[in-house]
Amino acid sequence: MKILVSDKLAGEGLEILKAVPEFQVDCKYGMKPEELKAVIRDYDALIIRSETKVTADILEAAERLKVIGRAGVGLDNVDLAAATKKGVVAMNTPAGNTTSTAEHTMSLILALSRNIPQACASMKGGKWERSKFSGVELYGKTLGVIGLGRIGATVASFAKSFGMKILAFDPFLSKDVAAKMGIEIVEFEKLIKESDYITVHIPKNEETTNLISDKEFAMMKKTVRVLNCARGGIISEQSLVKALEEKRIAGCALDVFDEEPLSPSSPLLKFDNCITTPHLGASTSEAQINVAIEIAETVKNALLGRGIMNAANFPSLSAEAYKVLEPYIDLGERMGKFGGQLVNGRIHAVKVTYSGVVTEYKVAPVTMAFVKGLLLPILGETINAINAIDVARERGINVQEVQSNKKEEFVNLINAEITTDQETFSVWGTLSANQQPRIVKVNKVYVEAIPQGYILFINNNDKPGIVGNLGTILAQNNINIAGITLGREAEGRLAVSLVNVDSDVPANVIAKIKTTPNILFAKLIKI
């Protein structure tokens, strides 16, 4: 497998990758987009930092690409929608630069409070201006943290050691958890109005772009100091310039910008109370090594089938969890293929219910595999496990995942219910004692079938002679039976036959089977 490293990566990370015999690692730094597009088709994995932009155009050319790994926090330089559509897992390193970014944030808070850059510049100009650069203390002040993830929480813990009160806005964190950290969870507007310092630690997306703009600046204290070490554009630069010009805030410190590098003509540079640094949050030797090691291990494990961690478009799975779930992922896809070839009508909804020990794990990858298998007969190679749920949603298919505590006949059981405009079709699956996939129920009929290869699916009246007639027709056409399973609703009622055969069954043979007495339905499916 070939790995392309397009941005500089610490040697410690490269050594991890080069130590794997199956890997060929190529380092090609500073490529222009057209150069990357020309070579990306030959690679299974791409490792980047912030310089490389992985656009939809580049992803379209990536014929073999399975993994994109970014050595850093965030993936805003990767077109995630295009990666998902292509079936490429996009991963980052959320923990590797936590300390360095949090420390840089605190450095900027202190620099803002004590006018350190301005005082330094003044002294280098031969001046001694003590009174001009009088500052403020952190003790007793209120720090508003927007986003209480790894970095935000670390900043909060650092700030507490200075005697600061911490307010936080994070809609995904419970108040009880925050309270144990000594942090008060508040509404966004309250944080904006009451904070003496405001720092953002959230990803940039449609919802967070220009999160702080004119409206928010108008609500702030005139003594507030605003910081951004997360992503450019979360704080509107236009609104920030306006707030500085009108002296609505006491100052700001920015490590990130709408466009990087920041233009020398940017109006932000004309304000003495605006401290700027060139995206230094992760620029420590320790952070560079940490993120390099983390992304190398993450990419290595993903390529070798040892688990997927820190993915933006796929559920994270440890190596242990992946090992447990791998046969269920295979089962899910086989069940999807099975149902997709048998269901009639336009699919409106899919409900996948899990019971047993498997519910102790994140089963989302199994659901994704099922949907992939379900849509494969319709969409072919354009569908994959990564984009399956998105594609289903685009087609108006509601996908529901349920974990049940109900006791079943099997240790682990997956029930997939497919609803169309014509019917509701159900298929149940499990693993055998030796971890082999089995279909154990179709609609109301119990069976025990191997979902593999060519399978003749037959509905028939429960009458004598069905198996004999079927065997005769197949023998006459030199088609060997590999296995057969039978089931019925009740004696004399609807029965189901699943016949595994060693080769394809021509249409004329299927037609003959359909004309056999008491055969109600016959179809060849391929798994």
Catalytic residue among 49, 279, 334, 488: 279
Enclosing H/E stretch for 49? none
For residues 413 and 473, what is the distance between their CA atoms, to the nearest angstrom?
Answer: 35
The residue to which tokens 């088709």 are assigned? 41
Amino acid identity for residue 214 in this structure: D
Amino acid identity for residue 238 in this structure: Q
Backbone angles phi, psi at 52, to 5 degrees: -75, 130
The residue to which tokens 């006459």 are assigned? 476
Please tell me the total number of residues recorded for the chain in this structure: 527
| DSSP assignment letter at 131 | G
Joined tokens for residue 224: 């507030």
Angle, CA 472 vertex, CA 467 and CA 477 arms, to 5°: 130
Backbone angles phi, psi at 111, to 5 degrees: -65, -40
Backbone angles phi, psi at 405, to 5 degrees: -95, 0
Residue 260 is a catalytic residue: yes
Alpha carbon 391 to chain centroid, angstroms: 15
For residue 261, whether the previous peptide bond is cis, meaning omega lies within 30 degrees of 0, is yes
For residues 100 and 98, what is the distance between their CA atoms, to the nearest angstrom?
Answer: 6
The residue to which tokens 């994270």 are assigned? 316
Q: For residue 447, how many other CB atoms are within 10 A of its CB? A: 19
Catalytic residue among 70, 201, 231, 334: 231
Enclosing H/E stretch for 441? strand 437-442
Q: For residue 151, how many other CB atoms are within 10 A of its CB? A: 27
Catalytic residue among 189, 246, 259, 260: 260
Distance between the two ends of the chain, CA-based, in angstroms?
Answer: 27
Spatial strand order in the sheet of 437-442: 398-404, 347-356, 412-420, 424-431, 437-442, 445-449
Enclosing H/E stretch for 235? none
C-alpha distance from residue 255 to each of 283, 284, 293, 417 (Å): 11, 14, 24, 50
Whether residue 168 contacts residue 185, with contact meaning beta carbons closer than 8 Å, is answered with yes
Q: Which residues lie below 8 Å from residue 215, measured CB to CB, with a gap of 6+?
A: none
Q: Which residues pair with 73 in a beta bridge?
A: none
274: closest CA among 117, 79, 493, 40? 117
Phi-psi region of 265 (alpha: psi -120 to 50; beta: other; left: phi over 0): alpha
Among all residues, which ones are annotated catalytic?
A: 231, 260, 279
